[in-house]
Copies of this chain bind each other. A is one copy, B any other.
């Protein structure tokens, strides 16, 4: 008799949910395969700083194989998952299929256009590193083009930046963009009249940072105004074109740059399960994070929609806690123990708005200003994976803070990347 085969757990997605699931399963008597179509983990919370030319994209990426070296029972495959056959317990990929005993799906989310015409074709997004780099290259390119543009109308259009969505990503990027323009680009382009530059933040609802205490939203809005950002509330977008964005009230804003941060939806892999999806194309799961009818399939992170009252935010702490719980529940199932339900321990919310300012909603307390900003810096530096990445990010922040300099003002790659 050969030795008994260890259960094989396949984890799809090397974001926060997938990585924390793998960490929990490391050194346990199971065989783990992590699958991702990229070879690196991305630290999403700092994507907007890549787009604002503050840090290089490599600084918030970490090679997955480097993370897994110390785990003897974990392997990695760079593959794109294209289908799921729950009956056969098999994943279809761009290469050989992958069999599993247990499956943890953590593919994350994509931008949600809500069907607004032109968004997919003309807007920029901040959901992955390629998009952040494309946006950085575009921003620097429109300034270069504006510097050569004699026609004032075309020049104003090139210098108008519209950010759609007043959530944390929109607010943080608007602040970072305004500061990039105010000092580094103003010094780079002495021949441009910077009164022609506009940064607008459009929020469909009554207030930015919805879900946070009103005092924090008001502070964020005031800080953005102080940085020169025109904050428009109750300004839903009707359509996006190559040269303008049109609001639902009929107003048209001429712009070459629309950044869409208005919403996210579950990754298309959720549909491959062949089950009805919930709001935002997310997969409804049991309190233990299992797919109904398939207790061997867990969904965690942005794609998961656990049943019950209360909507969970699509943020890293939820993914981390869910990835950990899904892995624990699998280990419990293997020992014949009952599953544990997911309970979110909210570590709070931190949103930074330019230098020296942030809003914090932590331990039920709301505070703002320099202390919140320092807390934001510390938390993000600690969470970042890789000592050298921390060094590189910290040096990018230091150059920005001390010299008002954005060190990565590079249009690179010079060749256009396919897709936006």
Contact = CB atoms under 8 A, between A and B. Distances in A.
A419 B188 CA distance: 30
26 contacts: A39-B411, A40-B412, A56-B59, A56-B392, A57-B412, A58-B58, A61-B410, A63-B410, A65-B188, A65-B409, A66-B188, A66-B409, A69-B187, A75-B191, A77-B147, A78-B141, A78-B148, A95-B148, A96-B148, A129-B412, A130-B413, A386-B407, A388-B396, A388-B407, A391-B395, A418-B418
Nearest to A79: B148
Nearest to A413: B130
Contacts of A147: 77-78
Interface in A19-43: 37-40
A247 interface: no
Nearest to A38: B414
A159 to B, nearest CB: 16
A416 interface: yes
A144 interface: yes
A408 interface: yes
Contact of A69 (B78, B188, B399): B188
A271 interface: no
Copies of this chain = 2
Contact of A413 (B69, B133, B189): B133
Contacts of A413: 129-130, 133, 413, 417
Nearest to A389: B407
A416 B65 CA distance: 21
Interface in A33-90: 37-40, 56-59, 61, 63, 65-66, 69, 75, 77-79
Given A56-B56, A413-B413, 17 more contacts: A38-B411, A39-B140, A39-B144, A39-B411, A40-B410, A58-B407, A61-B412, A63-B410, A65-B189, A77-B147, A79-B148, A96-B148, A128-B414, A130-B414, A392-B395, A415-B419, A417-B417
User: Which of A61, A144, A410 neighbours the largest number of chain B CB atoms within 10 Å of its CB?
Assistant: A410
A69 to B, nearest CB: 6
Contacts of A57: 412
A191 B75 CA distance: 9
B410 A39 contact: yes
A142 B420 CA distance: 25
B63 A188 contact: yes
Contacts of A396: 388
Interface in A384-403: 386, 388-389, 391-392, 395-396, 399
Contacts of A418: 415-418
Contacts of A130: 412-415
A314 to B, nearest CB: 21
Contacts of A63: 188, 409-410
Nearest to A137: B39
Contacts of A69: 187-188
Given A144-B78, A147-B77, A388-B395, A39 B95 contact: no
A102 to B, nearest CB: 21
Interface string A85-106: 0000000000110000000000
